[in-house]
Structure 1
Amino acid sequence: MITAPLPLDEDARLRALRQLDILDTDPEEAFDRIARLAAFAFAMPIVLVSLVDEERQWFKSHHGLAACETPRSVSFCAHAVLSKRLLVVEDALDDERFLDNPLVTGAPNIRFYAGSPLCLADGQVVGTLCLIDAKPRAFDDAQAAMLAEFALLVERELELRRQLIRSRTEHERDRRSLAISEARFRTVFQQTPIGKAVVDLDGRFLDVNQKFTQIIGYEESELRKLTFASVTHPADVAADLTHVAELLAGRQASYAMEKRYLRPDGTSVWVNLAVSLVRDVSGAPLHFIAAVQDISSRKKSEEALRNYHVELEERVRERTAELRRSRDALQTITDNLPALIAVVDRNLCYQFNNQAFQRVFAAAPATLRGRSLRETLRPDVFEQLQPLFARALAGERVTCDDVRYAVDAERVWQATYIPVERDGQVTGFYVMSHDVTEQRRTEQRLRESALVDPLTGLANRRALQDALTDLRSGEDPFALFFIDMDGFKDINDRYGHDTGDALLKEVASRLTATVRAGDVVSRLGGDEFVVASQGVSDARTGERIAAAICREVSKPFEVAGRVVETSASVGVVLAGATGAAGVAGATSASSASSAGLSLEAEGRALADDPLCLADAAMYEAKRAGRNTWRVAPGADELAPVASAGA
């Protein structure tokens, strides 16, 4: 029995589990209902909602099983939690991790297991929704998808529980905050140096602070008998009431205006008024909050400022003249920008150019003014850009990402054309062109890196699929070699993942050195590699390559200062070759069975995909004792078995 190691994020995972406050709680119908439905949908005798704790797995729902928990050391679910993806064991007696597990050899005599991880919103996997049977079963992709959907229902219940706990905590915090806020509001309301008032929906003053009474001249007791309209200057009442109506209609959340209040002695005072409408939780209006600031002094200052209007206009004229004189400064600024900057009129003639044109076009900016773009640009470049010029003159801002001004076309520019408008008419356009050569090179490097496995430097799954598409669309025969390391997990467990990664790099180097220079060597992930070899026209050649792979991989490796021994199981598919497995049509179930494939391999071989066929053949090599190969059956018969040492 192999016990699942702890995940790297185990502390965070356990923290997330305990924050649910769900362990050792009473059964809940929401979880039991999901378990019952899953049992019915999959015709499964046992369905568990399993939560993996530090030393145990505890069942929130255990349909068909009396036990509420089992030790984590014998838990199937711990393996699913570790991998964070669906775990399917179609026959536990065929899986070295579980064949001697007490839950397999004894009650409940597990033979089939399928567990879908339960992942919280923060990414932590706290357990699984799992199906258990005492007999082996097949489990296809449709069933896997359905199990994932049921797991989503459990995850939703867990999230609802977490949100409820969070809501309770936040409610208590909000209650305390509200009490503090009310105390602060009263302090701020009374002690602020700005006049404050609370006004009801009928305009009556409910509460005012001392500063408000000082500004308006009424005592607080007098104001409580009045409305804001009755103490507002008649000329300002209409505007104030219009704003109030906008607030009540919900068209604005607040408003500010300058208005005059009338004091008891008949004099007026200018104020800056800011009003907000307070609503209850349902959105119904409650009352207004008004903030008032005395601006009488500012109004007097504004009157004085108007007296300087003529003087200011003169200063504006002087400033305009100064701006004209600054044109030379503008030329200097644009000349030092790392871009081509120009102004072009409606006749496509330059009106302004910066110094960058000297470097790119070997022409001084002054000599280009008045010169047409057709004369300046190469004919092919002008033809490329002319439609964009027309769109810019029509008032549209346009950009071309691939402009090559030089004949050698080494430098790439991004040019933007911005319309120039005066009095509603487009009089030309601005040109701003940046050198984006290095950016394009960086983008190209990023695209290339997307096709490379970062650990080994081999082609990744995406690159392999591209290569397979090309091979299958061609007429030449090809072979696929699906390679899986024997005992790699034991090496990882014994020496650590750093040593495992170093070993994978060494395996990648040997595979590259073993196969032909034109072959595609890729890593699918984990310890799985695939070699795509074009031009393999017969089974003998395919077997020779597979034997070479087994032989080279079985040689000892020196990794991290220690000698590591491993081997490989290889599945071979020959497409379009003599006696090869056909790729255009799927292998029938009867032919697969007559060739000796197991039920699992038979299911894999039914896929119309050479990669699936090679994968199935590799599993046959595993069952044959490892460190060997199998050729997928084709029109004739399964290729003879050969070991790496034969």
Structure 2
Amino acid sequence: MTEQIKILIVEDNLDDAELMVLELEAANYKVVYQRVDTIEAMIAALESQEWDVILTDYSMPQFSAVAALSLIKLRKLDTPFIVVSGSIGEEIAVKLMRDGAHDYLLKHNLTRLAPAIERELREAKVRCERKQALEKVKFLAFYDELTGLPNRNAVLNILRKQILKCYKFAVLFINIDQYRKIKYGFGHIKSEQLLIEVANRLQASLRPGDYLAKMGKDEFILILGNINHVSEAETHAIEMHRVIDPPFALEGFVIYASITIGVVDSSLGFDEPEEFYAGSRNGQLHCERTGITISHGCIQSQYAN
């Protein structure tokens, strides 16, 4: 099967560029290429599209492999970069490799060109997969994979900053009532869809400066920043109940959900972010037991289904 490959050729000699293309076509590649020989032309080519490989001569009247490599490093590209030169000493070749070039070849011996490109494409794919895996690990350290909301680690960091600012703020612990019954009744997929939709509705109710995070499977934390009185948190909590009250239409299923909210505010004088989390969660649990509304504890929805 013919494999298409997009190559940026940094070369002032058209014949040399065509020889490289012919060599790759003989190796069963369908080559799409552009030839450039100045820094301006290379910048334009890099901005026009992504390239699979960059092949470059070492020295040209208006450009060089060193300058081309510097441009690639400046743009933080991980495109395989191979120097193909008419004459290049071992010392220069080693320096290029240390500076970031992936390989070098001599123009009079292109038999290694296709294998070198194949190897570099394979290694570039491995590097890309490794980078994506590391980025996912970093993301999951501070974000919930299902909803994309900040997670427990992130919200505790935000609470530490709020405590240091000495502004008035409130923490609302939000729990989806009887989530386990919903999960067993409608299944895993529908229950996860419900969590996503609940997160979306809660986000839509936020004010500038508010911060929403997902703490557990069916638990959310909302930080209301720079409030004047805890009554503002109570008002916002009642509004969130109204937001969650309408049924959720999930691909043919209609699911009703209600929430219970525990509230604590900064006037309690907690010094640690975990105390705000525990205080708001305990307020929610107290509400489940008693059903009452208290200033620094819990607000239970009169709209709950």
Same fold (TM over 0.5): yes
Mapped contact 2:262–2:283 kept (Cα < 8 A) = yes
SS at match of 2:100: strand
Shift of 1:465: 2.2
Q: How does 1:170-189 map to 2 (within 5 A)?
A: none
Tell me which residue corresponds to 2:210: 519
TM-score normalised by structure 2 residue count:
0.57
Aligned amino acid, residue 277 of structure 2? L
Tell me which residue corresponds to 2:144: 453
SS at match of 1:456: coil
SS at match of 2:268: coil
Shift of 1:616: 0.7
Aligned amino acid, residue 282 of structure 2? A
Match of 1:405 among 64, 70, 78: 70
CA distance in 2, matches of 1:407, 1:457: 32
Mapped contact 1:536–1:574 kept (Cα < 8 A) = no
Q: Which moved more, 1:526-535 or 1:515-524?
A: 515-524
Structure showing greater Rg: 1
SS at match of 2:222: strand
Does 2:283 correspond to 1:624?
no
Q: Structure 1 473/357 Cα, relative in aligned 2: closer, same or farther at 3 Å?
A: farther
CA distance in 2, matches of 1:583, 1:475: 11
Which stretches in structure 2 are left out of the alignment for 5+ residues?
1-19, 25-54, 80-90, 102-123
SS at match of 1:546: helix
Aligned amino acid, residue 430 of structure 1? V
Tell me which residue corresponds to 1:350: none
Does 2:182 correspond to 1:482?
no
Does 2:238 correspond to 1:547?
yes
Q: How does 1:454-473 map to 2 (within 5 A)?
A: 454-473=145-164
CA distance in 2, matches of 1:358, 1:472: 60
Match of 2:276 among 601, 610, 617: 610
Shift of 1:474: 2.1
Q: Structure 1 407/536 Cα, relative in aligned 2: closer, same or farther at 3 Å?
A: farther
Q: Structure 1 355/510 Cα, relative in aligned 2: closer, same or farther at 3 Å?
A: closer
Tell me which residue corresponds to 2:222: 531
CA distance in 2, matches of 1:584, 1:566: 34
CA distance in 2, matches of 1:644, 1:413: 57
Q: How does 1:291-330 map to 2 (within 5 A)?
A: none
Aligned amino acid, residue 544 of structure 1? T
CA distance in 1, matches of 2:70, 2:259: 55
Q: How does 1:245-644 map to 2 (within 5 A)?
A: 355=56, 357=58, 363-364=63-64, 405-406=70-71, 409-411=74-76, 430-431=94-95, 432=97, 433-434=99-100, 442=132, 444=135, 447-575=138-266, 580-584=267-271, 609-625=275-291, 630-632=294-296, 643-644=301-302
Mapped contact 1:571–1:629 kept (Cα < 8 A) = no
Shift of 1:613: 0.6
CA distance in 2, matches of 1:356, 1:521: 53
Q: Structure 1 562/409 Cα, relative in aligned 2: closer, same or farther at 3 Å?
A: same
Aligned amino acid, residue 560 of structure 1? E
Q: Structure 1 409/548 Cα, relative in aligned 2: closer, same or farther at 3 Å?
A: same
Q: Structure 1 448/356 Cα, relative in aligned 2: closer, same or farther at 3 Å?
A: farther
Mapped contact 1:413–1:434 kept (Cα < 8 A) = no
CA distance in 2, matches of 1:473, 1:498: 40
Deviations 1:303-353 (A, max 9, x none): xxxxxxxxxxxxxxxxxxxxxxxxxxxxx9xxx9xxxxxxxxxxxxxxxxx
CA distance in 2, matches of 1:477, 1:362: 62
Instruction: Name the structure where strand makes up a greater proportion of residues.
Output: 1
SS at match of 1:430: helix
CA distance in 2, matches of 1:409, 1:467: 34
CA distance in 1, matches of 2:274, 2:147: 29
Tell me which residue corresponds to 1:165: none
Q: Structure 1 538/472 Cα, relative in aligned 2: closer, same or farther at 3 Å?
A: same
Shift of 1:441: 7.3
Mapped contact 2:57–2:64 kept (Cα < 8 A) = no
Mapped contact 1:629–1:643 kept (Cα < 8 A) = no
Tell me which residue corresponds to 1:90: none
CA distance in 1, matches of 2:100, 2:73: 18
Aligned amino acid, residue 166 of structure 2? E
Q: Structure 1 563/355 Cα, relative in aligned 2: closer, same or farther at 3 Å?
A: closer
Shift of 1:493: 2.1
CA distance in 2, matches of 1:473, 1:356: 57
Mapped contact 1:521–1:532 kept (Cα < 8 A) = yes
Deviations 1:276-299 (A, max 9, x none): xxxxxxxxxxxxxxxxxxxxxxxx
Mapped contact 1:551–1:644 kept (Cα < 8 A) = no
CA distance in 2, matches of 1:362, 1:525: 60
Instruction: Name the structure where helix makes up a greater proportion of residues.
Output: 2
Q: Structure 1 554/411 Cα, relative in aligned 2: closer, same or farther at 3 Å?
A: same
CA distance in 2, matches of 1:537, 1:441: 45
Mapped contact 1:620–1:630 kept (Cα < 8 A) = no
Q: Structure 1 629/547 Cα, relative in aligned 2: closer, same or farther at 3 Å?
A: farther
CA distance in 1, matches of 2:274, 2:194: 33
TM-score normalised by structure 1 residue count:
0.29
Which stretches in structure 1 are left out of the alignment for 5+ residues?
1-331, 337-353, 369-375, 378-403, 415-426, 586-606, 634-638
SS at match of 1:405: helix
Q: Structure 1 405/550 Cα, relative in aligned 2: closer, same or farther at 3 Å?
A: same
Mapped contact 2:260–2:301 kept (Cα < 8 A) = no
Q: Structure 1 539/405 Cα, relative in aligned 2: closer, same or farther at 3 Å?
A: same
Shift of 1:612: 0.6
Shift of 1:364: 4.0
Mapped contact 1:571–1:621 kept (Cα < 8 A) = yes
Shift of 1:614: 0.6
Tell me which residue corresponds to 1:258: none
Shift of 1:411: 2.6
CA distance in 1, matches of 2:143, 2:100: 31
Shift of 1:428: 9.8
Aligned amino acid, residue 573 of structure 1? V
